[in-house]
Amino acid sequence: MSHITRRRALGVAAGAAGAAAGLALAGSAVADAPRAAAPAAGPAPAPFDEVYQGRRIQGGPAHGGGHHGGHHGGGYSVTIDGEELHVMQNADGTWISVINHYEPVATPKSLARAAVRELQGAPLVPLTLG
């Protein structure tokens, strides 16, 4: 059977006290850190409806019927041949999609065009989670 010694008990107590002090200091440093200002809301992107490389791309204000209800896309919806392209607006105002997540672009229209190029004729299939 193992017996706890006074030395071991003091070591555990000191370690716990040190960890608690470290967490308290980290919390106060985070609270004191200057917060970055949110970017000013710019004008909403212009709606578009065009055929690009043989694919119909459309974009405009979301009407809440999509998967995200316009949550990540800032209230903006993009479709390719009638299928929703999940889009998200970054904090810096650029846009990304599930197809080109690591290549931000300036507008939803250029995002839809980039997605068409990336698809190379393949259909856009609905994103299913789970």
Give me the pLDDT at residue 26, please. 62
**Domain residue spans in the chain?**
1-32, 48-119
**CATH placement of domain 48-119:** 3.30.1880.10
Q: Token match 């308290």: residue?
A: 24
Give me the pLDDT at residue 103, please. 93
Give me the pLDDT at residue 29, please. 53
Give me the pLDDT at residue 67, please. 47
Mean pLDDT by 10 residues, the chain (130 residues): 69 68 60 50 87 97 59 78 94 94 95 97 81
CA 96 vs CA 45, 89, 127: distances in Å:
14, 6, 15
